[in-house]
Chain A
C-alpha cells in the first residue's frame, strides 16, 4: 500500500510538474520504454524465457491503434486497448507451438517472428502503406496519458508479482520440473507470462505511435528487440524496479548524447559492457528497490554492534 502511494505521487509529479516541451517528450519516451521493458522483464526476468522479437508486439500494437484511429475513426483509448489485445492474440498463436518445450526454442522463434511481422508490415502496401510509413496519427499520447498508463501498469505489475501468479512464474523460472511437480501446468504458466508481456509491449507500441504521430516498420526492427532485452539484463533479471530504473536511465543517457548521435550506439554498447563486467547480475540483481532498504538497515545494525 505504502509503495502504491509513493508510485502514485511520483506519477503525479511526472505528469503535472511544469516543464518545457522537450522535457515532456523525454518523460513520454521514458514511460513508453519502461512499459515495454516491464513487459519483457515479466517474460525474461521472471519466467526465464529469452526473447529477441518483442518489437513485433510493439509494431502490432502501434499499427492496430494507428489504423483504427485514422481509418475507422475509433477513439484513441479503446484503440490502445485493441492494440494490446492484438499483441496478445499474436503471442498466443506463437506461444502454442513454442512454449510447450523448455529451453531456447522461444528465443529462436521470436527472432523469426520479429522479422516476419516487420516484413509483413513493409509489404502489405494497401493496408499499412508499407515502408513509406503510416503518417497522420492523432497525437493522443500526451504527457499525462503516458504517465497515467505507465503508473497504472507498474502498480499492477508489482502487485501481481507479489501474489500467486508471481510465485508461479518464478517457480517455473527457477526449476520447471520442480514447478510441475508442485502442481503447476508449466506450459500454461509460460503462456500466461508471454501473453501479459505481449499486452504490455502492444500498449507501449500504441503509445509510441501516438507520440510520434508517424510510424514505419523499420522502427520495430531487430535492433529495437535487442534493446528491450538488453535493458532488462541491464536492470537485473528478476528485478522489476531494476528494469524500470535501468530503462529510464538508458533513455535519459541516450537523450543526453543526442548531439553526438553518430556515437550513440557506441556509448550504449560501452555502457552495457561496463555493467556486464562490473555487475554481471545487472543493476539490482534480483532484488527490488525496497529490499535494498532492508539491506541498509541490516548493514547499519551490524556496523553499530
Chain B
C-alpha cells in the first residue's frame, strides 16, 4: 500500500534519513521504533508531505506521491497525528473533528476512452460539501450537511471517549484526552492509512492500556492500515505484528516483535555494546 524506495533526506549537512526503503502492506499494523533522533518523525513528515525528500520516491497505492503538497496527500487518504499536539486549541472539541470531517475526499477510477489508461481522481465527498453562497445564507445543502458532519463527528468522539467533552475548548483538555482527540480528528478524514506519531507519549500505564484497545479497535473497525511510532516498547510489542527499527536515519532491522527483540544490532543500538562501555 505504502512504499518508500531509497528515500534520502538531508537537512543541511545532516543525513536525517539515508536510503530508507520499506513497504507497508495493506491492512497491516506496523510499528516504527528507534532511539531519539533516529528519523522516525522525519519519515512521517516526508510521507505526509511536510518535507519533500532530497531523493527517492514514495508510492501510495501504486502512484508516486513524492512531489505532492501536504494537503493533496491528505486528500488521497493518508491522515496523521502529531508528536507535539497540534490541535486547533481555541475551537471546541467538536469543531476540531468537524474541521477534518468536512474535508473528506472520494477517490474514483476513471478510464480514458482513447488511451485506455486508468487514472485515479479525487473529488470532495458531496455529502460533506456545500458552496460559499450556501454558507453565507445558510440555505440549500447547509443544514443537512452540517447536521451530518455533527453526527459523524460525535460518533467519532464517542468512539474515543470524548463525547461528553464536545463543547469544551480543545486546548483545555487534559493531555491524554488531547491525544485521543487527535486520533478522532485524523479518523474524521476517513483515511486509508493512519499514521500515529507517539500516541502514548505522556500517558500513564492505565491510559496506555486503554490506548492499546483503541488502536487495535479502530484498526479492526475502520478498515485501516496503521503506522505507529512509539517509545513504549510494551505497547508496540503487544499491538504491532510487524516492526521496523531505525537508528541514525537508516533501517536497522525489520520483522516481528520477537525477531526485533532478539536482534543483536537492535540491542546494541538501544543498550550500547559491551566494548563501547569499557
Which of B90, B98, B100 sits near A238, CB closer than 8 Å? B90
Chain B nearest CB from A199 CB (Å) reads 12
Which of A167, A171, A178, A179 sits near B82, CB closer than 8 Å? A178
Q: How large is the interface on A (under 10, 10 to 19, 20 to 34, 35 or more residues)?
A: 20 to 34
Is the CB–CB distance between B91 and A170 below 8 Å? yes
User: Given A164-B130, A181-B48, A238-B90 in contact, is the A171-B70 Cβ separation under 8 Å?
Assistant: no
For the complex, would chain B's binding face be called helix, strand, loop or mixed by DSSP majority? Answer: mixed
Chain A contacts for B185, CB-based, 8 A? 182
User: Given A167-B98, A182-B185 in contact, is the A159-B91 Cβ separation under 8 Å?
Assistant: no
Within 8 A of B (CB), among A122-164: 156, 159-160, 162-164
Q: In the bound complex, what is the Cα–Cα distance between A143 and B89 (angstroms)? A: 41
User: Given A164-B102, A182-B74, A183-B71 in contact, is the A159-B90 Cβ separation under 8 Å?
Assistant: no
Q: In the bound complex, what is the Cα–Cα distance between A182 and B88 (angstroms)? A: 11
1/0 per residue, CB under 8 A from A, across B69-80: the answer is 111001100011
Total count of chain B residues near the partner, CB < 8 A = 35
| In the complex, A105 has a CB within 8 A of chain B | no
| In the complex, B18 has a CB within 8 A of chain A | no
Chain B contacts for A175, CB-based, 8 A? 86-89
| In the complex, A197 has a CB within 8 A of chain B | no
Which of B88, B103, B135, B142 sits near A183, CB closer than 8 Å? B103
| In the complex, A186 has a CB within 8 A of chain B | yes
Is the CB–CB distance between B88 and A164 below 8 Å? no
Best-surrounded residue of A162, A174, A184 (most CB of chain B within 10 A): A174
Within 8 A of B (CB), among A176-220: 177-186
User: Given A163-B142, A167-B95 in contact, is the A182-B100 Cβ separation under 8 Å?
Assistant: yes
User: Given A180-B71, A182-B185, A183-B75 in contact, is the A156-B136 Cβ separation under 8 Å?
Assistant: yes
Chain B contacts for A164, CB-based, 8 A? 102, 129-130, 135
1/0 per residue, CB under 8 A from B, across A67-108: the answer is 000000000000000000000000000000000000000000
Chain A contacts for B95, CB-based, 8 A? 167, 170
Count the A-B residue pairs with Cβ separation under 8 angstroms: how many?
A: 89
Complex: chain A residue closest to B89, CB-CB: A174
Chain B contacts for A178, CB-based, 8 A? 82, 86-88
Is the CB–CB distance between B89 and A182 below 8 Å? no
Which of A156, A171, A177, A185 sits near B91, CB closer than 8 Å? A171
Is the CB–CB distance between B74 and A181 below 8 Å? yes
Complex: chain A residue closest to B70, CB-CB: A180
| In the complex, A165 has a CB within 8 A of chain B | yes
Which of B69, B86, B136, B189 sits near A177, CB closer than 8 Å? B86
Complex: chain B residue closest to A170, CB-CB: B91
Chain A contacts for B71, CB-based, 8 A? 180-181, 183-186
Is the CB–CB distance between B132 and A160 below 8 Å? yes
Is the CB–CB distance between A182 and B135 below 8 Å? no
Best-surrounded residue of A165, A178, A182 (most CB of chain B within 10 A): A182
Best-surrounded residue of A163, A164, A238 (most CB of chain B within 10 A): A164
Q: In the bound complex, what is the Cα–Cα distance between A49 and B69 (angstroms)? A: 22
Q: In the bound complex, what is the Cα–Cα distance between A94 and B4 (angstroms)? A: 39
Is the CB–CB distance between A182 and B99 below 8 Å? yes
Chain A nearest CB from B126 CB (Å) reads 13
| In the complex, B50 has a CB within 8 A of chain A | yes
Chain B contacts for A171, CB-based, 8 A? 88, 91, 99
The interface of chain A, by Cβ under 8 A from chain B, is 156, 159-160, 162-168, 170-171, 173-175, 177-186, 238, 286
Can you show 28 pairs from A to B with CB atoms below 8 A apart?
A159-B135, A159-B137, A159-B138, A160-B132, A163-B130, A163-B134, A163-B138, A164-B130, A165-B135, A167-B95, A170-B88, A170-B91, A174-B89, A174-B91, A175-B86, A175-B88, A175-B89, A177-B70, A178-B82, A179-B99, A180-B69, A181-B48, A181-B50, A181-B74, A181-B86, A183-B74, A185-B71, A238-B90
- Please provide the 5 A-B residue pairs with the shortest distance between their CB atoms, ordered closest to farther: A163-B135, A183-B103, A178-B86, A174-B88, A183-B74
Q: A174-B90, A178-B86, A183-B103 are in contact. List 19 more A-B contacts (CB 8 A).
A: A159-B136, A159-B137, A164-B129, A164-B135, A167-B98, A170-B91, A171-B99, A173-B90, A175-B89, A178-B88, A181-B50, A181-B71, A181-B74, A183-B71, A183-B74, A183-B75, A183-B105, A183-B189, A286-B90
